[in-house]
Amino acid sequence: MTERTLVLIKPDGVERGLTGEILRRVEAKGYVITRLTKLDAAPDQLAAHYSEHEGKPFYQPLVDFMLSGPVVAAVVEGDEVIKGFRSLAGQTDPTTAAPGTIRGDLGRDWGVKVQKNLVHGSDSVESAEREISIWFG
Ligand code: IDP
Ligand code: MG
């Protein structure tokens, strides 16, 4: 079923010059990028985007990390793209994310309180619609 998902390239991905490599993988898989922008995240956007994680030990480090530099936000479309992009991204922890995935190939642990793992991808249709409105209005 045709879906859309929100992809964020986090500040570590932008700073390391991996924007092109990450978007290349999305397009090579066959998905279509329909919106694309580079921006500095605002605190209220991040509070809304990460509300499910409020109160967790990594919450404030995560917000501070997401404010540390520009991010690239994209809307990506295709059948089953929500699950498909999360499969391309790999598991949350870049140390053990499978080789072949974005996080597994390009990410590592940097010894800080938040896992810098290069990308975000929505986890359900409801999250995708909510997150696309946060980042694209
Ligand atoms: P996801 O990005 O794979 O969906 P979530 O559980 O939604 O993972 O967590 C959001 C983000 O918070 C992760 O991508 C990662 O940057 C960070 N994070 C999640 N769990 C931990 C943790 O246990 N320690 C440090 N950072 C974490
Ligand atoms: Mg998540």
* CA distance linking residue 74 with residue 3, whole number of Å: 14
Residue 71 — pLDDT band, cuts 50, 70, 90?
A: very high
Residue 98 — pLDDT band, cuts 50, 70, 90?
A: very high
Please tell me if the CB atom of residue 10 comes closer than 6 angstroms to any atom of ligand 1.
no
What is the count of structural domains for the chain?
1
Residues 110-121, mean pLDDT to the nearest whole number: 98
Q: Point out the residues that are catalytic.
A: 120
**Nearest listed ligand to the Cα of residue 109:** 1
Is the model's pLDDT at 1 over the cut of 80? no
Distance 121 CA to ligand 2 centre (A): 7
Residues 73-94, mean pLDDT to the nearest whole number: 98
Q: What residues contact 23, with CB distance under 8 A and at least 6 apart? A: 9, 33, 36, 72, 74
Cβ neighbour number for residue 132 with a 10 Å cutoff: 18
Residue 14 — pLDDT band, cuts 50, 70, 90?
A: very high
Domain holding 28, by residue range, is: 2-136
Is the model's pLDDT at 73 over the cut of 80? yes
Look up the CATH number of the domain holding residue 48. 3.30.70.141
One-character DSSP codes across 61-77: HHHHHHTSS-EEEEEEE
**Nearest listed ligand to the Cα of residue 8:** 1
Residues 29-33, mean pLDDT to the nearest whole number: 98
Q: Which atom of ligand 1 is nearest to the CA of 117?
A: 16
Residue nearest to atom 5 of ligand 1 (CA): 92
Q: How do beta strands 2-9 and 71-79 pair?
A: antiparallel
